[in-house]
Structure 1
Amino acid sequence: MRWGDFRRSENVEDRRGGGGGFHIPGGGRGGGIGIGTILVLGLIGWALGIDPRILIGGAEMLSGGGSSYEQSQPGTRGAPQDEAGQFAAAILGNTEDVWTTVLPQQVNVAYKNPRMVLFSGATRSNCGFAQAAMGPFYCPVDQTVYIDLSFFDDMRRRFRAGGDFAYAYVIAHEVGHHVENLLGILPKVQQAQRQASQRQANELSVRVELMADCLAGVWANHSEQRWKALEPGDVEEAMNAAEAIGDDRLQRAGQGYAVPETFTHGSSEQRVRWFMTGLKEGRVQACDTFGASRP
């Protein structure tokens, strides 16, 4: 995929100790950027042994606990200069350009740009500690996406789901949670989860995650229309990545069987289907996972 000519967002804070060593294939090419796949949140529960119930309203976050490293000082503001930082800033900038136009046009809601914090190991967020093992996540309290870019290496090694297209979708999915927040969905889900049984809370979490999948597809649709971002094989790369991190596959890999009532992110089939729905339709209204009888 092409991302080299994307506008770099200035809404980035780099808290990494030194530049990132992660390499983005094709970063030197001109053009635009397309989509990736979701890859993010399934790491938290079943793959890494972290209790998935810490998810609140679609934002994976730790409510407490320590870490081996904590970065509490503010980082450098603006687009980083290393390749990995440039990639993250470019994808964030492209989501800004898409949603600033699409959200008011389609649902009459003004888009407010989120922030992105790049960190190494662990850092503070207004939702608790952010740790690399959690994968990227969106904190609705400070409207910020937190990401340790080494997560992309984990994607490639652990799930065989590498590629800049897939990595871009990781960011777009978290920005999808920001869109949900602007639409008022996350606060309503958080309130409903507090009053729900564990099984009901899990189902709400699945719907939040699948909607973010779909919204990432909407972003990809409009990015492709305007910047002609996709290259041959990109959609297949995204679908492969989405399939790799469905709750069912992660549970079978971790414990030998799947327990659907404990899903918090959706099955492989659901994640691929909702992402493709957004990609094909290009409409926020097509992403109503809460209106569907079964997502």
Structure 2
Amino acid sequence: MKLGDEIQDIDAPELEEVELKKRRISVYSTGALKTAAAIDRLYVNHPGFMQAIQALDRVFQIAGEFEMQQGITIEGPPGTGKTSVYRYFKRTVPASNLFAEGMGIIGVRGIKRTTVGYLIRALLKAYKYPFSSGTEAQLYARRGILIDLIREKGTKILFIDESSAMLTKTSTRSSTQHETDVTDLLREILDECGIGVVLASYGGGASLKHTDNALASRMSVRCALQEFSYDKQWHGLLHAFASQCIEYDLGFIKDRSVGKLIHEATQGNIRDLKRLLTEAVLIATDKAQLTLNAETLGKAFNEVKGRGHESPNPFD
């Protein structure tokens, strides 16, 4: 079977985000869209996020310097910032003559049934290799080309998002081998290229031990991203959002009672927080409001979640 155009770009928005953007473009003014876009671009350096960034930075600095392989797992529910770690780190990597421009860290996104052919094709495409299509067998035969590209471009880290599916045992080989073709490839890259490999998933580290213990033993660093509990750290996060946003006054969310309502609305999920605040700023800007209020946040909740959502609107 020839693998077609199903490659999912890690830098491209997910389908849900695309639909959300389409609705907003059709509803709000250009000025409001421009102002609210600043919210989506914000990265708040909370402890879990910083731990992951520091782990990537350490591996980036020492990749290729030692024989010991460097692997990181980043685990957390959807919307807790795993992809944001990659995007933030890639954006902040300085230019260097040690690696090709834009190739210091390479990222790809897994799919529900990630095969070794899919992973090779996704990585070849990320390196802009011209012959990245073919059958599963043809792509598997290009492992050597991929390893040569990694070395040639001087890549320090491979970041694989949505890696949970590829860490599940699907091989038809003897179960005593505890490995799959995908994890074979990852171990080969770690061992042959001496670079860092980051696997971002929703709890993939535990399943990796059952799938390929040899690869699991190479993933020496584990970072966890979680949804925020309602505590001081949550209020600190809201304060940081308000302080970093210079395009619109988010001071209203610093109030503790408002912060509690926002937590009820988002369940401490960073992605949901950004969506709520972005929608609220869109509504407020088009109404010429200089700051947010509870009514605006309530309207934003209805727009983002939908009026048929099972959870009650905490701002009503």
TM-score by length of 1: 0.20
TM-score by length of 2: 0.19
| Structure number with larger C-alpha Rg | 2
